Amino acid sequence: MMADSSDQYESVLCVKSEVHVYRIPPRSSNRGYRAADWKLEEPAWSGRMKITAKGKTAFIKLEDRITGELFAQAPVDQYPGMVVEAVSDSSRYFVIRIEDGNGRHAFIGIGFADRGDSFDFNVALQDHFKWVKQEGELARQEAAQISAPKLDLGFKEGQTIKINIGNIKKKESGGAAGKSRPMGGSLLPPPPGVKSSAMVPPPTAQQTTPTAPPSTGMILDFGDPAPTAAPPSQDLWGDFTSAGSGSV
């Protein structure tokens, strides 16, 4: 944001070493000024031109080429405008309004021998007031931001915020349920450095089914007595011999 205080520094925008000043007749109509109506071969003054800027205002200064003494100056607060006006029949000549600082002013004609110098003169003024316009827009934007109400995005006293994390819980519980639990009797592999034979569990005691004792014949005690078997013959060959002879 620019301020119009008196302590602002003055910058140089353009310097041209040769410029001619002409006395011009009063404007006779609204058609504009014409350089052909001036006595171009007889300039009233010749010297150096310098364009400076201080804040928003530009100054066209006509100075002595050797001593730098000020001959005249034209404060410019708008361009294009009434202070600087191009002639209708040439691009190298302009009409400017000079001031003496006491409230008096006059219109004079200035001209450049080189068309490139007149182009630089025109561009220097255009660039300065383009910058002034941009600075003005930035200042208006800053003022609008300051005057606009600010949004209060902070939490009020006692205000809380709720976060729904139900999906995370479901995912965790589902993953745990999907895992199979290890069997209680499974054996883990032995840790490194330990032989597998040392981790073999002791053999499980096998359950033996007691064999039934031999029957003692107790069941037969409640029935008929079993017949007694005859003792075997001690002389089997003798029986056969006796049966063959027919007599004892």
Report pLDDT for 248.
Answer: 39
What pairing do the DSSP bridges indicate for beta strands 93-99 and 84-86?
Answer: antiparallel
Q: Is the pTM here over 0.85, yes or no? A: no
Q: What is the pLDDT of residues 61-105, one digit of tens each?
A: 999 999 999 999 999 999 989 999 999 999 999 999 999 888 899
Going by C-alpha positions, the residue among 79, 43, 39, 37 that lies closest to residue 58 is: 79
**How many CA atoms does the CB half-sphere of 138 hold within 13 Å?**
8
- What mean pLDDT comes out for the span 142-168? 71
Report pLDDT for 204.
Answer: 54
Alpha helices (H) along 78-178: 115-147, 166-178
Predicted confidence (pLDDT) at residue 173 exceeds the cutoff of 80: no
Checking phi first, is residue 176 left (phi over 0); if not, alpha (psi -120 to 50) or beta? alpha
* pLDDT band, very low/low/confident/very high, at 11 (cuts 50, 70, 90): very high
